[in-house]
Amino acid sequence: MENNKSSGDKSSLKPIRCKAAVCRKAGEPLVMEEILVAPPQPHEVRIRIICTALCHSDITFWKLQVPPACFPRILGHEAIGVVESVGESVTEVVVGDTVLPTFMADCGDCVDCKSPKSNLCSRLPFKVSPWMPRYENSSRFTDLNGNTLFHFLNVSSFSEYTVLDVAHVVKIDSSIPPSRACLLSCGVSTGVGAAWKTAQVEQGSTVVIFGLGSIGLAVAEGARLCGASRIIGVDINPTKFEVGQKFGITEFVNSMTCENKRVSEVINEMTGGGADYCFECVGSSSLVQEAYACCRKGWGKTITLGVDKPGSEICLNSSDVLHNGKTLMGSLFGGLKAKSHIPLLLKRYMSKELELDKFVTHEMKFEDINDAFQLLLDGRCIRCVLWMG
Ligand SMILES: [Zn+2]
Ligand SMILES: [Zn+2]
């Protein structure tokens, strides 16, 4: 009997009919509908999603009315799944493997993937495209009327089945609880990686985090793991301060109540001349300036993780740059190389160093995805994990 479990005849693979939450129009509730998921092409894998979490970029692209927004689209990019079938030339994973999808590619073969200094693959460079990464104008999703549904961030996990390029999956140990492992598919990896890999925070250092959303809290977790002794959280919402304590934040600054001082002045006074590491997790170019202004001259590093509006610019005084010798760095996916660094973070979770449990504030059924969107919009959850069937 023929089945898809053998690695033999790939031409026998058929489209799968399954449920997906489709975003048909910006800002409107997702529509739970039946769709068709085509078989994987060469270098691709089709996976069954076990659970998916909501990340803030899903909300951003759900609301966005202008390009790169496009509809109808299947959002979702933080998930865990099991390989259902593989296309030609796939040798890295086999049917039944547990995998984490990642929006950043790790082809392992280009000059950047081979360098320990970068996680920015140049064979499949990061872009917000509606298509499969290796094939132009190619989608694996259609609705039951035969119309194309667009992909999102190379993952599209708000569907029971999805197709990914093999450069966008990381094989992991299947014994790790899926509702925890999935967090390393995007958000927690981005924050923890920014402290661990991009900044390389050292034991005993002072860290400032602008914005205590889920990414800022993940930076705090990373800084705590690296042994930072002071972790100062900056936010305009005082309720974030209480939450932040669980993530290792040691001091708080409410930027709304700094009287006549700029936040950077307050931080410079608190730290006697600036912090070792500043992280901007909001996505505001003026906050990047503030962060840069309160990292220490000589060795201070400012790392930007937030996404500002397309085209926004960061303004820095050139004499300040020359005289102060500080570093300003961008960090996509925390500077992590997905295939080698995610398994290391999972090991640190299993050895009870990396604390993932505290990020999961809600777990729900996939069908209740619109309620989960509302929780995130209201700022009532850090991570909501949605379980498929
Ligand atoms: Zn994300
Ligand atoms: Zn590459």
Burial grade of 175 (CB within 10 A; 0-12, 13-18, 19 or more): exposed
CA–CA distance, 254 with 264 (Å, rounded to integer): 12
Q: What is the pLDDT of residue 10?
A: 66
Judged against a pLDDT cut of 80, whether residue 293 lies above it is answered with yes
What is the C-alpha separation between 379 and 383, in angstroms, rounded?
A: 10
Mean of all residue pLDDT scores within the chain = 95
Rounded to the nearest angstrom, the distance between the alpha carbon of 198 and the centre of ligand 2 is 18
Instruction: Quote the tokens at residue 41.
Output: 């092409």
Residue 277 has pLDDT above 60, yes or no: yes
> Helix, strand or coil for residue 35?
strand
Closest by CA to 267, choosing from 280, 250, 255, 283, is: 255
For the cut 80, the answer to whether the pLDDT of residue 202 exceeds it is yes
- Say what percent of the chain tops pLDDT 70: 97
Q: What residues have a C-beta under 5 A from ligand 1, the ion? A: 55, 57, 186
State the distance from the centre of ligand 2 to the C-alpha of 193, rounded, in angstroms. 19
Residue 24, both tokens: 């048909």
* 3-state DSSP assignment of residue 16: strand
Classify 356 as helix, strand or coil: coil
Q: Which ligand is nearest to the CA of 186?
A: 1
- Confidence at residue 167, expressed as pLDDT on a 0 to 100 scale: 98
Whole-prediction pTM value?
0.95
The DSSP H or E segment spanning 163 is strand 161-165
Q: What is the pLDDT of residue 380?
A: 87
For every residue of 108-162, DSSP letters joined together read S-SHHHHSTT----SSS-----SS-SSSTT--SEEETTS-EEB--TTT--SBSEE
Q: How far is CA 169 from CA 184, 188, 211, 379, in A?
A: 12, 17, 29, 30
Q: Cα(310) to centroid of ligand 1, in Å?
A: 18
Alpha carbons 368 and 376: distance in angstroms, whole number: 13
| pLDDT band with cut points at 50, 70 and 90 for residue 201 | very high
Mean pLDDT, residues 280-284: 94
In the reported structure, the alpha carbon of residue 78 is separated from the centroid of ligand 2 by a whole-number distance in angstroms of: 21
- pLDDT given at position 259: 81
Three-state SS at 222: helix
- Measured in Å, residue 122 CA sits from the centre of ligand 2 at 5
Q: What pLDDT does 72 receive? A: 98
Say whether pLDDT at 4 is over 50: no
Neighbour tally for 131: CB within 10 Å: 16
Distance of CA 133 from the midpoint of ligand 1 (Å): 18
Looking at residue 9, what is its pLDDT? 61
- Please report the pLDDT score of residue 310 as a whole number: 77
Confidence (pLDDT) at 258: 82
| Residue 371 DSSP class | H
User: What pLDDT, in 10s, does the model give residues 159-181?
Assistant: 999 999 999 999 999 999 999 99
What pLDDT does 7 receive?
Answer: 47
Element (H, E) at 361: strand 360-365
pLDDT band, very low/low/confident/very high, at 379 (cuts 50, 70, 90): confident
- What pLDDT score does 307 carry? 82
Indicate whether 6 pLDDT > 60.
Answer: no
Residue 43 has pLDDT above 90, yes or no: yes
**pLDDT value of position 2:** 39
pLDDT at residue 205 is higher than 60: yes
DSSP secondary structure of 175-218: TS-HHHHGGGGTHHHHHHHIIIIII---TT-EEEEE--SHHHHH
Cα of 111 vs centre of ligand 2, distance in Å, is: 7
Q: pLDDT at position 3, please? A: 45
Looking at 110-124, 141-155, 375-389, which range is the least confident one? 375-389
Domains of the chain: 14-185+356-387 (3.90.180.10), 188-333 (3.40.50.720)
